[in-house]
Amino acid sequence: MKSIKVLFITTSHDKLGDTDEKTGLWLEELAAPYYIFKDGGAEITVASPIGGRVSLDPKSQSVILATGNTKRFLKDEEAMNFLSHSITLQQVKADDFDLVFLTGGHGSMWDFAGNKIMKELLEAFNNVNKPIAAVSQGVVGLLELKNDKGELLIKGRQLTGFSNSEEESGGLTKVVPFLLETQLLLAGASYSKGADYTSYMVIAGNIITGQNAASSGEVAKKITALAQNNMSSSAFYNLSLVK
């Protein structure tokens, strides 16, 4: 079977609201799936709203919150170079990839929300039933998507995302532009969650969501299996046409 072509979408935003603090991508949310995909032989591309170097949340690189994946990533010259050269969303076509993975970090609360280019790209993935994964605040990218009938894609759909209680524990409820859990419920999603900061994943057709950074690896494994099934089905269909 040919290798899976993976598209990561990360934030480009690096300012935490009106504070003087920096934010960006939460590294574990890319590092964990990155190595699952890479070690599995996938072809990986990273895109962001403005391209170039991906902003990392400083806290996600701290010794206290470091994981095996983030330690490996920060010492991996190839991986760090990968994050230094993201392409812009305008350069991406859904036809070129087998799946898309939306990473979180608080930066995405600002530049994923209301992003028309991202919306059109993700709708193109969904229209041909390609797998879409989103973890933590990256689920913001699903809020405004519509199906082929013009209805909100997440309405009535089971999913998860960074919870209000997790936002409260970090003391950021007054800093972020909105609370993701609240917005998902207002949009009609069937939201559920696990315990704060523990792995929790929800599968709804071609869309897989993870509650937080701890969910990233589990989501990556599941979406890999979905993509492989899609590719196998497509290959069988094409073979039957030849016969």
pLDDT digits (tens, 9 = 90+) for 8-21: 999 999 999 999 99
Q: Which residues contact 35 (CB under 8 A, 6 or more apart)?
A: 69, 72, 73
> How is the chain split among helix, strand and coil, in percent rounded to 5?
40, 15, 40
> Taking 60 as the threshold, does the pLDDT of residue 118 lie above it?
yes
> Taking 80 as the threshold, does the pLDDT of residue 224 lie above it?
yes
- Residue with tokens 């523990």, as numbered in its chain: 198
State the amino acid at position 161 in one-letter form: G
> Taking 70 as the threshold, does the pLDDT of residue 212 lie above it?
yes
Distance CA 138, CA 101 (A): 9
Intra-chain end-to-end CA distance of the chain, in Å: 20
Structure tokens at 178: 């909105």
Instruction: State residue 232's pLDDT score.
Output: 79
Kindly report, residue by residue over 169-201, the tens digit of the pLDDT. 999 999 999 999 999 999 999 999 999 999 999
Instruction: State residue 242's pLDDT score.
Output: 42
Instruction: Kindly report the CATH number assigned to the domain that includes residue 203.
Output: 3.40.50.880
Residue 169 lies in domain: 5-242
Give the count of domains, the chain. Answer: 1
Distance of CA 188 to the CA centre of its chain: 20
Q: Which residues contact 88 (CB under 8 A, 6 or more apart)?
A: 47, 48, 49, 50, 51
- Residue with tokens 């036809």, as numbered in its chain: 95
Structure tokens at 6: 């993976």
State the amino acid at position 191 in one-letter form: Y
